[in-house]
Structure 1
């Protein structure tokens, strides 16, 4: 099932489970958002088109974060006048996870779990720079408890038996000496001086 909604002067086609970036909406991260301006619904019973809206149809979503979008550069120039101006702008936007659609006698819900991880945190994790505290908070409590004893058991044997390594430099030195003894050193051929021309 899908729906076409209108928000921020734009129209979006959404399904349960979709992540959507729209113009800034009021609310904190994790709050529920509902859209009443549904223009069209599509499902098992067919397509329902509003005139212009469908009465009683709603789309539910969860607000993940409100952030600044990508930078847009504004450059102005008047030729032959020495006039150049550069400005930048970052539009505020909201990131949503669509959780349900209802209307025209049909319902559709998303069964997954909405993660409130921000884009900045995702970028840090992709680069391997996320802090360990953030990783522990992101995991469910049951998973963290189940993994804790395993990591402690693995860490304990490593402390008891430190690895012993033989010095590599001492073993390599005799081999080099043997090789030098077998192969006599080659001498470069002596260069002869060029004959000087007699001046008369």
Structure 2
């Protein structure tokens, strides 16, 4: 299982190829590709690359799926004995990223969709030979 820990917008995420994650709003249009270069750790099978603080030559390639808003959080402030009450709501602006690949020194980790496609191609080759 391949995964990486990346930092974006002051937060750290454990990301895997083929999965999507909600991060703080990014100024990128939907369906565009973005490269996350603040990679703190890369785990690829048996090898682990730990950065100090960043892993050199490591990037995570992601596609922006959509922009959305998070769940509403209610903020309620009250001062006792003063008849002061204040109720506010907040919805965080988010961007949904689909992780395409994790690159470490030019080599790319396979995404979740690629092994299935490779098996299908291999099956077609076996059928055509028979």
Measured against the shorter chain, the TM-score band is 0.7 to 0.9
CA distance in 2, matches of 1:6, 1:49: 14
The match for 1:12 is: 13
CA distance in 2, matches of 1:109, 1:61: 13
Could you tell me how far 1:23 is from its partner in structure 2?
0.6
Q: Mapping of 1:39-118 within 5 angstroms?
A: 39-104=40-105, 106-110=107-111, 112=113
TM-score, L = length of structure 1: 0.54
Unaligned runs of 5+ in 2: 115-130
In the alignment of these two chains, the number of paired residues is 113
Change (3 A) 1:6 1:57: same
Whether the aligned pair in 2 keeps the contact of 1:48 and 1:104 (CA below 8 Å) is: no
Unaligned runs of 5+ in 1: 114-200
Could you tell me how far 1:59 is from its partner in structure 2?
0.2
Select the structure of larger CA radius of gyration: 1
Could you tell me how far 1:106 is from its partner in structure 2?
4.1
Change (3 A) 1:29 1:80: same
Whether the aligned pair in 2 keeps the contact of 1:8 and 1:23 (CA below 8 Å) is: yes
Whether the aligned pair in 1 keeps the contact of 2:44 and 2:109 (CA below 8 Å) is: no
Structure with the bigger percentage of strand: 2
- Show structure 1 runs of 4+ deviating over 3 A: none
